[in-house]
A = this chain, B = another copy of it.
Amino acid sequence: MTCHTNADLQKIVNEAALHTVYGEVAGYIPALAEVNRHDLSAAVYNIKEKSCIYAGDYQNKFTLQSISKVLVLALAIQDMGSEYVFGKVGMEPTGDPFNSISKLETSIPSKPLNPMINAGALAVTNMIKGESSDEKWHRIIEFVGRLVNDKNVSCNEIVAKSEFETSWLNRALCYFMKQHGVINGDVEELIDIYTRQCAIEMNCFDLARAGAVLALDGKDPETYEEVIPSDIARVCKTLMVTCGMYNASGEFAIKVGIPAKSGVSGGILAVVPNKCGIGIFGPSLDKRGNSIAGVKVLEMLSNRNDYSIF
């Protein structure tokens, strides 16, 4: 039984939603903790038909959080080139938690292992071009706007402010990297941009559309214009497979087998090359920080439609 209609997808969502009770909503900032743990919405943008199927309360908005890491990476490589970016940040998956600082200390020279852990993502945001902090931020939000075809995509200022005020660990990572020459400039400004990029808000439909761009190797699924050069889109998808789902990336690759990036808000951006982009929102998280029901939706979708790239 493949999934092709809203009704098909709704059935999957209904079944997956039974798992929300086994997870927890991220509680470290009030704005994230206020959501309904049982929410689950999903959208699939099919690039062939240029149309989207969806299920659940698909208009629910959520912040990107770590999902922003892969989008900003795409912009940073465009800005600085692959060699520069990966001269500062590695390409290797890690068995350590996303916010670990130990590995920065034990690896010589100090270099975040990849752009999907916090240290690497902060270093990547630090590379975004712009004369001022403001310009850098506007280039990020504008780029995300192009991916979702919504010039009005916005940042949830309450979430951004709340995270800015409590990002002690990210500041620790930044100062450690500043010591070792991985990042430069003012740490507070970097934390400001980074917390804003994490607080960019959209619904699962928007996210599916961003995924469709990656599914098309960087081309806009409606106009076929290049939004991201194809080699960069491919780099992003590869890193999504090897490190996109935190410390469960390996297991996700085995069980689902498609490029995906999750965030602690409960969002997941997933990509089936040449087929579709997928956006999920389910704020109940498993122990690794991935949407517990969202992973189930992707597992069922992948099995039914034979989406695995392996």
A interface vs B, CB < 8 Å? Answer: 90-96, 100-103, 105-107, 113-114, 168-169, 171-176, 178-179, 187, 234-235, 237-239, 241-243, 247-251, 253-254, 257, 259, 273, 308-310
* 20 CB-based A-B contacts, threshold 8 Å: A91-B254, A92-B93, A92-B248, A93-B242, A93-B249, A95-B113, A101-B102, A101-B105, A102-B102, A168-B175, A171-B187, A172-B173, A172-B179, A237-B310, A238-B253, A239-B250, A239-B254, A241-B253, A242-B242, A309-B309
Known: A95-B113, A96-B95. Contact between A250 and B90, CB under 8 A?
yes
Judging by beta carbons under 8 Å apart, are A257 and B242 in contact?
no
Minimum CB–CB distance from A307 to chain B (whole Å) comes to 12
Closest B residue to A103 by beta carbon equals B95
A171, closest chain B residue (CB): B175
User: In the complex, what distance in Å separates the CA atom of A304 from the CA atom of B261?
Assistant: 29
Provide the bound-state CA to CA distance between A224 and B91, in Å: 37
A41 to B121, CA, bound (A): 40
CB distance from A34 to the nearest CB of B (A): 22
Closest to A92 in B: B250
- How distant is the Cα of A251 from the Cα of B234 in the complex, in angstroms? 12
Looking at chain A's contact residues, is the secondary structure mostly helix, strand, loop, or mixed? helix
Q: How far is the CA of A202 from the CA of B290 in the complex (A)?
A: 43
Identify the 4 closest CB pairs spanning chains A and B, nearest first.
A93-B93, A168-B179, A94-B95, A172-B175
A176–B172 Cα distance when bound, in Å, is 5
Contact yes or no, B101 A101, CB < 8 A: yes
Measured in the bound complex, the distance between the Cα atoms of B179 and A169 in whole Å is 6
Shortest CB-to-CB span from A160 to chain B, Å, is 19
Give chain B residues whose Cβ lies under 8 Å from the Cβ of A179. Answer: 168-169, 172
Instruction: Give A268 Cβ to nearest chain B Cβ, in Å.
Output: 18
- Distance of A185 from chain B, by nearest CB (Å): 12
CB of A238 within 8 A of CB of B310, answer yes
Residue of B nearest to A273 (CB): B310
Chain B residues near A239 (CB-CB < 8 A): 250, 254
- Apart from A168-B179, A175-B175, A273-B310, list 6 A-B contacts with CB within 8 A: A92-B250, A101-B102, A171-B171, A238-B250, A241-B241, A243-B250
A254 touching B241 by the CB < 8 A rule?
Answer: no
Question: In whole Å, how far is A259's beta carbon from the nearest beta carbon of chain B?
Answer: 7
Contacts of A242 in B (CB 8 A): 93, 241-242, 249-250, 253
How many angstroms between the C-alpha atoms of A241 and B310 in the bound complex? 9
A92 to B243, CA, bound (A): 9
B251, A91: Cβ atoms under 8 Å?
Answer: yes
* In contact, A251 and B92 (Cβ under 8 angstroms): yes
